[in-house]
Structure 1
Amino acid sequence: MSTEFTLKAESRDRVGKGSSRVLRRKGQIPAIIYGEKQSPVAIAIPLKEAFRQILAGSFRTRVIVVDINGEKIQVLPKDYQLDPVRDTVLHIDFLRVSEKSLVTVEVPVHFLNEESCVGLKQGGVLNIVRHEVELIAPATSIPEAITVDIQKFEIGDSIHISAAQLPANIELVIQDRDFTLATIAAPVEEEEAPATEAAAEPEAKKAEVKKDA
């Protein structure tokens, strides 16, 4: 589980495009906190810190403590908008959570022991079908990743979700089948030029020489 961190914020009374532009010029971005059957709270947070946490990874699976002038609220980032040109953060939506909250999140899949995998050592290729898996988990104990040990898998094998190490307190969103996470594919061999084409090349060169003569 990712450790939570505290994000300083300020409450804001004004909302809308005009006030959002003013915030961004000051190095802040607008955000909102909703959920837990409470009224939404409009806040402003530092742009640099928000962008740094997004780049660090696991942003949407990490509980954040938002400190609004001393009032601390546990939240989970649900969505954020990026400027399509400058790639800076424009807005963030936070979901208010508690220890009893269950959330649906996507967590990455990590494949362990690739260097000692039987199929990969034989020249096979790891073909990843799912880079992430959707889970239902307590908001305060979301796993950083789902791990799968692929050491014993051979060429031609499929790696299913049943091979993953799943924490006891989470559930899979997809429960009606043992879906595939990856396969160990056979190596792709380079195709050789057909013999007829290879034999035709010298004849073509001879014809060109006679024509020039």
Structure 2
Amino acid sequence: MDLFSRSWTALLSAVAELQDEDFAQPSGCSGWLVRDLVCHLIIDAQDVLITLVTPADTEPTRDAVTYWEVGGTPPAGDDPLDALTVRLAAAYQEPGLLRFHLDDVGSAAGRAARLADPGLRVSTRGQVLTAGDYLSAYVLEWTLHHLDLVAHLPDVTGPSTEGLARSRDMLEQVARAAFPASFSDRDALSIGTGRRAPTDAELTQLGELAVRLPLFLG
């Protein structure tokens, strides 16, 4: 849970670094500008707040790894919520408003996470997890979106070493296979989730794992 807080704080700090013109740059999420990604983070922060106050009285059905469902195709961009996110982002008009709303809701989500009992059972997406597992799962979410944020903004601070390492570990558990030791954590996450295509040399190193990639997490 501490890593959740550190990963989230790092992501919020990176957004705070952005210049107004950065919001119109492409992000690492296909078809989304940086402003769309930041709007998505606001919705994610709201989801965290909602989930942490939605207790469940049944046994957990998922943990931090099995929380993730793997799809075989990338998002097509026609999902109603994805389309709404883009419209909402455009409606803000001023980057400062997006920055303010994320800081406001994001700070509240961070405080709620620090106050949460890790053993509390919570319900989300029709599943039950402990709050600790739910927040641990979000370390992967924050780290991937932090990579998306800085994909075309090399001067903006990227995710932490510990966040990258933990996210790689979770992705390897989802994949039930380890990425080559020669891959950096950033490369393992980017290639593993389809954020970039592997080079010919990387494909050779991946071996049989290559046919199972990328993993589209939802």
User: Structure 2 length as normaliser, TM-score?
Assistant: 0.21
